[in-house]
Amino acid sequence: MEQVLRIGVVGGGMFFDEIIGPTLMDFQGGGFAGALGSIGMSCFAREVAGIRVEVAAVGTRSRARGTADRIRSEFLRCFPETPITAYYGDDCPHALIAGEGLDVLFVAGPDHLHHAVILDALEAGVHVITEKPMCLRAAEADAVITAAARTGLVVAVDMHKRYDPFVRHMMTHSLPLYNRIYRVRAVLEEPLAVATEVFQWVEQSNPFAYVGCHWLDVVAHYMGVKPRTLYASGARMLLENWDRYVREIAILRGRDPATFRRRDAIHAWDALSVNITYDNGMRGDFDNAWINPAEFEGAVNQEIEVYGVLGRGFVDQQDRGFRETITGDGSRTRNPAFGGRVRGGSGREELYGYGKASIAAGLLAISRVKFLGEKARDLAGTYPDAPSQHCVTQIIEAATVVAERNDMHFRERGLAPVTAALTEDRTLVLDPIAGDREIYRRSEL
């Protein structure tokens, strides 16, 4: 019997065009077994080599932009013999799940909507690969973890920084040489266009949740530490006054302000800084923003630095060695290790890199359950699964609440004294001005 993974995708934005779409197109054309070496799982290549990947449907909210139809046309151009259906509307996830007999749902919509769609898919008996963050609240993570365990289905999270070869080498090979690690410093900053033109939902999330989750996952996965105390504060200057600054930026770039997708005030954080003390005494400092100027040399600014008693390691995207200058584009650094292109035997460009590797990890886990007879509960640690994201989500929720309270107190009193205490089962916000507040306690679902 032919082994097929029918995949539906909810969301068709920037990351779909850059990574998800090209990856699924490659896997539909030649399977995913060839990508397993990049995640250290080539031992399964023979067993999954015959599994066919088939993108059956794509759904997006807005019909006016025609994104789902564009994606459908691109897949039909390469695979005219394989039907693919386009869905639209706020309810498209439900329609897509109900109407396509899917094996896998890829969730790539707004951060704050992930968990509801994941739960709908699990209830329908469909495995899930979701973009990060899995959830924004710890109680939501509990619900996903419980539903995945009850149904025996896989929930894989696209935490691709786990598979960055530079980061992975430092975390797996170098850390023992540094002896006891006492500090981690991590930065990930997205371009201004993400917050002002690409995403319309930035007010429902924040830059720490959106990209800081990558470094939280790396630290938790490779170092096995748990958060115990947290402080968070941030900046709200550019986006809150976007209706004023957009004119200045447009003039500097020689653009008509009317061509910017958003011209009103955007009530969202510019940047967040989160400081964590872990259960082993290690300090973690995480800085995230989504207001990097378009003129910045890299697609993003990302770095991670690990300090130990006997050594120190530092991975910086801009120091990886590929710089180029192109007339009209200026000097830029590129990161083909994430999403490089190569002209393949198919006659079209194929994708390689750790962005693709992360999706392969999810498909392998799903295939091991669906076709190889393994249990999802036995695959812990082999891919970014739902339980691994609980502490990530707990930190995101705590940092959001602490930063909001510190911002409020600073505006009112010039003070920012709020912190949080965390255990695996509880998050307590410690506020000496307004009073302490428990924002999370593990429920018995």
> What is the per-residue pLDDT across 396-405, written as a single tens digit (0 to 9) for each?
999 999 999 9
Do 111 and 251 sit in the same domain of this protein? no
Q: What is the pLDDT of residue 145?
A: 98
Do 47 and 86 sit in the same domain of this protein? yes
Percent of the chain with pLDDT over 70: 100
Query: What CATH number does residue 84 fall under?
Result: 3.40.50.720
Q: Is residue 415 part of a domain?
A: no
| Least confident range of 41-55, 107-121, 243-257, 297-311 | 243-257
Q: Is residue 320 part of a domain?
A: yes
Q: What is the pLDDT of residue 269?
A: 98
Q: Please name the residues in contact with 143: beta carbons below 8 A apart, sequence gap of 6 or more.
A: 115, 119, 445
**Domain coverage including residue 90:** 4-161+339-385
Q: Is residue 423 part of a domain?
A: no
Q: Is the pLDDT of residue 22 over 70?
A: yes
Q: Is residue 48 part of a domain?
A: yes
Q: Is residue 295 part of a domain?
A: yes
The whole-number average pLDDT for the span 144-150 is 98
pLDDT tens track for 387-425: 999 999 999 999 999 999 999 999 999 999 999 999 999
Percent of the chain with pLDDT over 90: 89
> Two tokens at 252?
């500097």
Do 111 and 174 sit in the same domain of this protein? no
Q: What is the pLDDT of residue 342?
A: 92
Query: What CATH number does residue 190 fall under?
Result: 3.30.360.10
Do 148 and 293 sit in the same domain of this protein? no
The model's confidence at residue 348, banded by pLDDT at 50, 70 and 90, is confident
Do 227 and 258 sit in the same domain of this protein? yes
The model's confidence at residue 253, banded by pLDDT at 50, 70 and 90, is confident
Classify each residue of 291-302 as buried b or exposed e, where b means 16 or more C-beta atoms within 10 Å of its C-beta: bbeeebebbbbb
The whole-number average pLDDT for the span 210-230 is 98
Do 30 and 143 sit in the same domain of this protein? yes
Please state the pTM of the whole predicted model.
0.96
Q: Is the pLDDT of residue 276 over 60?
A: yes
The whole-number average pLDDT for the span 293-319 is 94
Q: Is residue 402 part of a domain?
A: no
Q: What is the pLDDT of residue 234?
A: 98
CA-CA distance, 107 to 11, in Å (whole number)?
7
Q: Is residue 284 part of a domain?
A: yes
Do 294 and 361 sit in the same domain of this protein? no
The model's confidence at residue 444, banded by pLDDT at 50, 70 and 90, is low
Task: Tell me how many domains the chain contains.
Answer: 2
